[in-house]
A = this chain, B = another copy of it.
Amino acid sequence: MIKLFYAAHTCSLASHIALEEVGAAYSIVRLDLALNEHRTPDYLAINPKGRVPAMITDKGILTETPAMLAFIAQSFPQSRLAPLGDPFGFAQVQAFNSYLCSTLHVAHAHRMRGHRWADDPAAIAEMQRKVPESVGACYDLVERKMLKGPWVMGDAYTICDPYLFTLAQWLEADGVDPARLPKVGDHRSRMSERPAVRKAIAEELA
């Protein structure tokens, strides 16, 4: 039985969708970031980083979305959420998710988490100002070079898809017009029709 610690409207949705896609036995635990529930001693004992997501498995605790997604794919090979027998194909999946984690999500984080990298309110405001440009540049690259379509890796639905879908929830709030990203927009629409996605979102907002 897997236990997923999540917060609404965060990247933890990606792992939640993946758990639902593979039919895992899991439960979810909601943390309210506004109440600093990710900073309590109990949660810091689970994830000393004080971030979501974290996942308790029967082997131990895991963090970091790309690692958790790969773990879910490898633990449920019959669901074929990654090309597990093909190191190059698997690396392409990993490279996409790594880009989302370390570049696209990071660009987005400068809108609401600028305090991680600056204290001066003027600097934090300047970071916020640039978010539409920096996040937009990431999505332009995804649109032009990375999203093969219909799914991220082409015909096969993989662990890249829930991750892109999750981050693409924030496009409008980041000031990026989805109209300039037809493939990303189409992907978002198609994802939102999947039963696993509907169920995960409904559970998080319940």
Chain B residues near A99 (CB, 8 Å)? 49, 63-64
Is there contact, CB below 8 Å, between A122 and B119?
no
Interface range on chain A (Cβ under 8 Å from partner): 35 or more
- Copy count, this protein chain: 2
The interface bits of chain A over 80-94 (1 if a CB of B lies within 8 angstroms of the residue's CB, else 0) are: 000000011011101
| A46 → chain B closest CB, angstroms | 12
Give the residue of B64, B87, B107, B122 whose beta carbon is less than 8 angstroms from that of A117. Answer: B107
Q: Does chain B have a CB within 8 A of A62?
A: yes
Q: From residue 146 to 194 of chain A, which have CB atoms closer than 8 A to chain B? A: none
The interface bits of chain A over 57-99 (1 if a CB of B lies within 8 angstroms of the residue's CB, else 0) are: 1011011111110110011000000000001101110110011
Which A residues have a C-beta under 8 Å from some C-beta of B?
Answer: 48-49, 57, 59-60, 62-68, 70-71, 74-75, 87-88, 90-92, 94-95, 98-99, 101-103, 105-107, 110, 116-120, 122-123, 126-127, 129-130, 134, 141, 144-145
